[in-house]
Structure 1
């Protein structure tokens, strides 16, 4: 989804991974949970931390820091799990994403958002909807539906025991 498709004011949930600020469209966020024990699932991708029990449902938990090539998320008092809905090829999957801390919900006008930087053809930045500017900070706005490939989502949903429609 290109920046040109962002034509109205949208609310974004901002969160930190390491020293960087990221954002997700609040429409994709179901809830925010305190860090809880995560059950490791063998033979899953490294970024897949395991599963949690969310009111009787098995929800896979991913570490976005590992997915983005950073060091693993360390558990602190601020570490949380952002429960999001990811849609890939018509199937919606609920998963948890580890974040160092949740910041706030911000509204951004289309003129506050610039296109994602193009860093050559070898690096895929399709999962970045755009770069938002808020309080003199750049915020990387993620397209959560494009962060994971089809194969990665299949591995995550299989590990979580989720049935796909």
Structure 2
């Protein structure tokens, strides 16, 4: 290391469980973590888009991460959580809720200890994996969230959020 290069602080991640795996999402894009709540289904939505939730008056499209990763859907448990994210897309951010089987903790992962994911296939989609690290002796799979919600999905989520907000406006107008 040269004198011009200062050591970087390890990046902070929220670790979540999906099936038997531990995944990590950058803390910087996590808005909040919620208990599972009622989800309003959207007609004709793709299977991964389970519907919309209300977060402080904002309609937030909600995605089942298990289904998005190519795993079968599972029944919610007492540990199921919705992680609300501000996902960077097209120079802005879209707000998305993702359903996780469980949320563990906020942890640090040193970028020097992150490895490129192997290209050997697996049970879930690997094109949305940024790196693999270790925390407390366990492998942690770091999501590439922007890639997980690629352009097509981002447009779909934007449309879902717009539809939900339009429906909320209509309901509010009808009540007054």
Structure 2: state its 5+ residue gaps.
1-7, 166-176
Matched, 1:51 2:14: no
Contact 2:69 2:125 in 1 (8 A): no
What's the CA shift string for 1:47-72, capped at 9, x where partnerless?
00000011111000001100111111
Distance 1:81 1:92, change over 3 A: same
RMSD: 1.9
Q: CA deviation at 1:43?
A: 1.0
In structure 2, distance between residues paired with 1:154 and 1:90: 13
TM-score by length of 1: 0.87
Counterpart secondary structure, 1:71? coil
Counterpart secondary structure, 1:13? strand
In structure 2, distance between residues paired with 1:20 and 1:32: 19
Matched, 1:150 2:133: no
In structure 1, distance between residues paired with 2:112 and 2:151: 32
In structure 2, distance between residues paired with 1:95 and 1:110: 26
Larger radius of gyration: 2
Runs of 4+ residues deviating >3 angstroms:
123-126
Contact 2:86 2:96 in 1 (8 A): yes
Structure 1: state its 5+ residue gaps.
1-6
Matches within 5 A, 1:95-106: 95-106=96-107
Q: CA deviation at 1:124?
A: 6.8
Number of residue-to-residue matches in the alignment: 155
Equivalent residue number for residue 74 of structure 1: 75
Equivalent residue number for residue 169 of structure 2: none
- Of structures 1 and 2, the one scoring higher in RCO (CA 8 A, sep 6+) is 1
TM-score by length of 2: 0.82
Q: CA deviation at 1:137?
A: 1.2
In structure 2, distance between residues paired with 1:148 and 1:83: 14
Equivalent residue number for residue 14 of structure 1: 15
Q: Which has the higher helix share?
A: 2
